[in-house]
Amino acid sequence: EEIDMEPEFVFLSPRAGDPGIDHGLLGPTYGEALAWEGRRYQSKYQPLLYRVGKHALIETAAMWRSFLLGLYTVIMTILRMTIIPFAERVMILNAWLKSKVVLFARLFFRKIVVPTLFFCGVIWDVITNSL
């Protein structure tokens, strides 16, 4: 296995104009050199198919994420504008009907059921006492 030794000398021209900043690892000079070396590494050591495939995969994942976020937004809009107000109205109607049914049942029980039971009890007493 042969080791590729590349004798290269790269002169970095200062970007900031201040030697303290230019020679620092976080300065713009070193950052630009690091970016250049990264691009050189990609073009020299990574196959073209890998770079294109990686880019396509990232783009596809980003498009799916955008699609799913859009779908979520549409579903939530439909829920907020239609289903949730409909459910609220059904609950209000249910509460209103419940109050009316309870009122009707109370009146029905007091005016019809209680007198009917009382009348049946009187008839029962008459029949059992006469026998």
Instruction: Name the region of 68 (left: φ>0; alpha: ψ -120 to 50; beta: rest).
Output: alpha
CB 46 within 8 Å of CB 33: no
d(CA 16, CA 78): 54
d(CA 131, CA 125): 10
What one-letter code names the amino acid at 10?
A: V
- Nearest CA to 61 out of 72, 69, 51, 73 is that of 69
For the record, the structure tokens of 31 come out as 């950052």
- In the predicted model, is pLDDT for residue 1 greater than 60? no
What one-letter code names the amino acid at 39?
A: R
- Cα torsion 55, 58, 63, 65 to 10°: value is -170
* pLDDT tens column, 57-68: 999 999 999 999
- In the predicted model, is pLDDT for residue 3 greater than 70? no
Q: What pLDDT sits at residue 2?
A: 54
